[in-house]
């Protein structure tokens, strides 16, 4: 597409962190950019933009997805939850406390994606081995922590919940 041409726009309506939102967006804008640029929800980070790093994780209709691999128009009609909404609701409070205590968030770039992925894993009081925790977090890249402290934090939360 010629960058000089105006972007084709479509109206989207969705619920984000409990609030109804309607916007006109470029047909090619992905969900992570929409959340950051249109709604100022900058807790959703953008790293690789091709589905590898996990920094852009958000929940859509109850499932964690990669915000860089979903177009905003595809989320129209959906219920979207971001790190901001899940933090405000207290849903992640125990997990966040363990991350803080164990220094599992350093620069914090990966942290929102890590928390959403870990939260999904722990849903419903699920219990798993350290290997399973490592496996489920393997799609979330961290340049800082060496992962040990993150796995410790998820494991500690799991033990307290069960
Ligand atoms: Fe989406 Fe990396 S920015 S997976
Ligand atoms: Fe820096 Fe994970 S804490 S990338």
Span from the CA of 121 to the centroid of ligand 1 (angstroms): 19
What lies within 8 Å, CB to CB, of 56 at 6+ separation is: 32, 44, 45, 46, 47, 49, 66, 67, 68, 113
C-beta 7 within 6 A of ligand 1 = no
Question: What is the CA(55)–ligand 1 centre distance, in A?
Answer: 5
pLDDT tens, position by position, 73-100: 999 999 999 999 999 999 999 999 999 9
Q: What tens digit of pLDDT does each residue of 107-124 get?
A: 999 999 999 999 999 998
Residue 162 pLDDT: 83
What is the side-by-side order of every strand in the sheet holding 63-66? 19-26, 9-16, 79-81, 57-60, 63-66
**Residue 3 clears pLDDT 90, i.e. is over it:** no
Is residue 126 very low, low, confident or very high in pLDDT (cuts 50, 70, 90)? confident
What domains are there in the chain, each with its CATH number?
9-82 (3.10.20.30), 92-161 (1.10.150.120)
Query: Partners of 19 in the beta sheet?
Result: 16
Ligand 1 center–CA 47 separation, angstroms: 5
Query: Does pLDDT of 41 surpass 70?
Result: yes
């Amino acid at each position: 597409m010629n960058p000089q041409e105006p972007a084709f726009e479509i109206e989207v309506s969705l619920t984000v962190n409990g609030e109804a939102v309607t916007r006109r967006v470029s047909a090619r804008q992905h969900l992570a950019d929409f959340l950051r640029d249109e709604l100022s929800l900058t807790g959703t980070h953008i790293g690789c933009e091709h589905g590898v790093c996990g920094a852009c994780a958000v929940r859509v209709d109850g499932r964690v997805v990669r915000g860089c691999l979903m177009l905003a128009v595809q989320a129209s009609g959906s219920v979207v939850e971001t790190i901001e909404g899940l933090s405000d609701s207290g849903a992640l409070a125990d997990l966040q406390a363990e991350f803080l205590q164990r220094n599992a968030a350093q620069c914090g770039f990966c942290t929102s994606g890590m928390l959403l992925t870990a939260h999904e894993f722990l849903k419903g009081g699920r219990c798993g081995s350290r290997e399973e925790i490592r496996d489920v977090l393997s799609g979330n890249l961290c340049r800082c922590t060496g992962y040990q402290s993150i796995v410790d934090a998820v494991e500690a939360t799991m033990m307290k919940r069960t």
